[in-house]
Amino acid sequence: MTPGHNPALVALTQRVTELPALPQALVALMRLLREPDFSERQCVALIERDQALAARLLRLANSAFYGVPGRVGSIGDAMRILGAHTVFGVLTAAALHSQVRVDACPGFHFDTYWRHTIATALAARALAGLLDSDADEAFLAGLLHDVGQLVLASFNPEAAGRAIARAQQGQLSTLDAETVELGFAHPQIGALVARHWHFPEAICHAIEWHHQPELPVGSEHISTAGLVHIADKIAHTLHLGGDAAAPVLAPEEWAALGLGLPALGELLAATAQGVNDICEAFDSCP
């Protein structure tokens, strides 16, 4: 995706490239996790160097969602409970979100955005487990799938606010409303952000195409973009998101995955509970 001749996109692309770097501990952790034989001890040491990241991690590990509230006292224990990739995903999302401010964007509610983000990530990870896909990659892509909305609300609040109003009124989906107001939409911007911070290309691709993935037919393997697409609809099915026109999960879409209705019921219940527990651990926001 290139800015082309859209002045608004050119300006926004420039601002994305000027975003600060991720915390050094997270940059190092991302590099480490790309190694097939990474050491958990090294991961712990990286997190322990950043007190703010360490505090966030302990709060999350002690949430009810992970079943051991109040009993995790060390970064090593937290890493073993959550897994290194989940730790990286949640802390990266929190760090990204702290880089931008959305106070000037009318209609943007960070709590709604964050709950939808968590719901999509949890549902994507659960789906990946059911479909024998990469659960860690799905979780991270789910956490970051709408980061472009955050950037639009921060860097172009007036146009983003108008798009939000259209979506909340049910006139258009968020994607279509952004395209009408700006000539582009949040998946493009989210992919720009992910590439700026050197995320793996599979994550960047999933962010860019989560609204228009190639869904599998029959026994075909589902892509990460496809997982996030279905997970996004699951989050909207739970009414976690401010887009009144967003399509919810259709019965035939779930049936095409071959998982059955009992699995959907369990996934919906687990996702809803997980969102409540994790948001409580973060006081509803990163």
CATH code of residue 154? 1.10.3210.10
DSSP collapsed to 3 states, the chain: CCCCCCHHHHHHHHHHHCCCCCCHHHHHHHHHHCCCCCCHHHHHHHHHCCHHHHHHHHHHHCCHHHCCCCCCCCHHHHHHHHCHHHHHHHHHHHHHHHCCCCCCCCCCCHHHHHHHHHHHHHHHHHHHHHCCCCHHHHHHHHHHCCHHHHHHHHHCHHHHHHHHHHHHCCCCCHHHHHHHHHCCCHHHHHHHHHHHCCCCHHHHHHHHHCCCCCCCCCCCCCCHHHHHHHHHHHHHHCCCCCCCCCCCCCHHHHHHHCCCHHHHHHHHHHHHHHHHHHHHHCCCCC
Looking at residue 249, what is its pLDDT? 86
- Weakest mean pLDDT among 71-85, 111-125, 189-203, 262-276: 71-85
**Residue 193 belongs to some domain of the structure:** yes
**Residue 13 belongs to some domain of the structure:** yes
**Residue 59 belongs to some domain of the structure:** no
- Flag whether pLDDT at 165 surpasses 70: yes
Q: By residue range, what is the domain housing residue 133?
A: 7-19+102-281
- Flag whether pLDDT at 47 surpasses 60: yes
**Residue 77 belongs to some domain of the structure:** no
User: Can you give the pTM of this predicted structure?
Assistant: 0.87
**Residue 55 belongs to some domain of the structure:** no
pLDDT bin (cut points 50, 70, 90) of residue 59 is confident
The tens digit of pLDDT for each residue in 247-259 reads: 788 888 888 888 8
Domains held by the chain: number? 1
**Residue 46 belongs to some domain of the structure:** no
**Residue 1 belongs to some domain of the structure:** no
